[in-house]
Amino acid sequence: MKHLIHTLEGRLAPLPVAVAVELPSGELVGRTPTEVVLRFRSLAPLAALAAGHIGTLGAAVVEGQVELEGHVRDIMRAASALLQSDPVRGTSSWWSQIMARTRSMALHTVARDAEQIEFHYDLSDDFYALWLDPRRVYSCAYYRRPDMTLAQAQEAKLDHICRKLQLRAGERFLDIGAGWGGLLLWAAEHYGVQAHGITLSRNQHAYVSQLIAARGLQDRVRIELRDYRELRPDTPFDKIASVGMFEHVGQAQMPAYADTVRRLLRPGGLALIHGITAGGVDNVEVGAGMGEFISRYIFPGGELLHVSRVLHVLSQSGLEMVDTENLRPHYARTLWAWSDALEEQLPRAQRILEQQTDGERGARALRAYRLYLAGCAMGFERGWIALHQMLVTHPDGQMGSGALIGAQSEYPFNREYMYTEGIACPTSSNPVPPQI
């Protein structure tokens, strides 16, 4: 026991915040006065603490073996300092690549993907509403101006996507993975498109369906409960967005995903692919147990690829990348906004989850989400993960004329149009969908 206490003292002393560990015996080890306290109910998780395996330590917190006391931002500062190696610099051997691909193929059938989406997105609409913006946009916001609120930054993101796609009235627009309908409704109401969304979440499908009816948009907006692989429209779409969705596709299915986007997009049209990407080129997942934690408690089946690999697959399918933007710092700020909002609503969040799920599952989910939101905010800050928007075209083979000879698409090969202020930029007068 003396050796254990000595090891703990050595690990805790250099941390940037004052951390103390309470052993199962009640003995307190570490710095005082404390900013963060870890109360261990058993000795087993201490090995993860000593090794800097923070994902495993987080799992022990979710399972109730360790209790945390302190502000989540201080907890994350301590967690990052506990790491003993760079979590995105792991080697990726040919064998690990084969095993990862084999696992990915097994994880991403149509049936398995539906189950995995249900696990996450159908947890509780009321729970998500506590910490998301009023439009329930569950993806990276875009802080066009530093003083924006989360709600304003989410509207700016929706508009940023619509600008990049050059949406025009009457165009047929597809949103793959439409979530709670934020982009679908924004595109229809501000740009006059015929909007079609698909989702695998039954809760989201029901919510958006009611929202469409409440806004009187049945003639212009449609939402389907459908897998992207099963969508067979009579004619291709003019524009496509896929926001926060390809992370669920899996590396084994990425070629089929890219081929599907190309099939669904008319020649000359534009598609905006927005998603989380890996911070390292070769790592299969974020190290130190963090990848396993997210797969187990938050996103079963989720897989991240480096942006270079995503672009490689998109190019192989015949899509041309015309613009790529890294919004990594924007996602760090978004996640901290979500984390802060959840921390302010913890008692209410606990009541909702315990009432709408099995009591113990609700308690575990709340512990997991507290660590997940703050941990991902830290991950984006430190570059362990990133967020990219990739604008691609389906070349039509037409050489064009004048300044855009050879364009083969509607993309003007000039970014100026994306960043010019316009009437759809977020203001307090923009309508917010009613809560259903």
Give the CATH number, domain containing residue 149: 3.40.50.150
- Considering the domain architecture, whether residues 113 and 207 belong to the same structural domain is answered as yes
Checking 206-214 for CB contacts under 8 A at 24+ apart, the result is 207/125, 207/180, 207/181, 207/436, 208/178, 208/180, 208/181, 208/184, 210/436, 211/180, 211/181, 211/185, 211/433, 211/434, 211/436, 212/181, 212/185, 214/433, 214/434, 214/436
Q: What pLDDT does 277 receive?
A: 93
Q: Do 152 and 202 share a domain, yes or no?
A: yes
Q: How confident is the model at residue 426, as a pLDDT?
A: 40
Q: Which of 56, 82, 108 is the last residue before a domain boundary? A: 82
Q: Give yes or no for residue 430 having a pLDDT over 80.
A: no
**Would you say residue 429 lies in a domain?**
no
Tell me the mean pLDDT in the region 246-265.
92
pLDDT tens per residue, range 348-397: 999 998 887 776 788 888 999 999 999 999 999 999 999 999 999 999 99
Residue 92 pLDDT grade (very low, low, confident, very high; cuts 50, 70, 90): low
**Is 90 inside any structural domain?**
no
User: Do 247 and 309 share a domain, yes or no?
Assistant: yes
Instruction: Write down the mean pLDDT value for the chain.
Output: 87
What is the phi/psi pair of residue 178, to 5°?
-80, -5
- Domain edge (last residue) among 82, 117, 150: 82
Pair (148, 73) in one structural domain: no
Asked if residue 323 and residue 287 are part of one domain, the reply reads: yes
Same domain as 359, residue 237: yes
Residues 315 and 181 in one domain: yes
* CA gap 394, 264 in Å, rounded: 10
Question: Which of 258-262, 263-267, 329-333, 421-425 comes out lowest in average pLDDT?
Answer: 421-425
If asked whether residues 333 and 380 sit together in one domain, one would say yes
| 210 inside domain | yes
Same domain, 70 and 208: no
d(CA 401, CA 52) in angstroms, rounded, equals 60
pLDDT of residue 266: 98
The verdict on 40 and 120 lying in the same domain is: no
Instruction: Report d(CA 142, CA 148) in Å as an integer.
Output: 9
Q: Which long-range contacts (CB under 8 A, 24 or more apart) does 213-218 make?
A: 214/433, 214/434, 214/436, 215/185, 215/189, 215/433, 215/434, 217/185, 217/188, 217/189
Q: Which helix (H) or strand (E) holds 389?
A: strand 385-393
pTM for this one?
0.88
Write the CA distances from 276 to 193, 194, 326, integer angstroms.
27, 27, 10
Q: Is residue 426 part of a domain?
A: no
Q: Look at residue 101 in the predicted model and tell me its pLDDT.
A: 53
CATH of the domain at 53: 3.30.1050.10
Q: Which residue has the tokens 């199962």?
A: 24
Instruction: State which residues form the domain around 66.
Output: 2-82
pLDDT over threshold 50, residue 425: no
Higher pLDDT, 11 or 112: 11
Q: For residue 425, indicate whether it is catalytic.
A: no
Confidence of residue 83 (pLDDT cuts 50, 70, 90): confident
Of 261 and 252, the structure prediction assigns the larger pLDDT to: 261
Answer whether residue 293 is part of any domain. Answer: yes
430 within a domain of the structure (yes/no): no
| Residue 428 in domain | no
77 and 107 in a common domain:
no
Into how many domains does the chain fold? Answer: 2
Q: Which of 25, 57, 82 is the C-terminal boundary of a domain?
A: 82
The reply to whether 91 falls in a domain is no
Does 98 score more than 60 pLDDT? no
Give the residue-averaged pLDDT of 184-201.
97
For the ranges 13-22, 25-34, 133-142, 389-398, which has the lowest average pLDDT?
A: 25-34
* pLDDT at residue 3 is higher than 80: no
Rounded Cα–Cα distance for residues 165 and 169 (Å): 12
| 54 and 164 inside one domain | no
pLDDT given for residue 94 in this prediction: 45
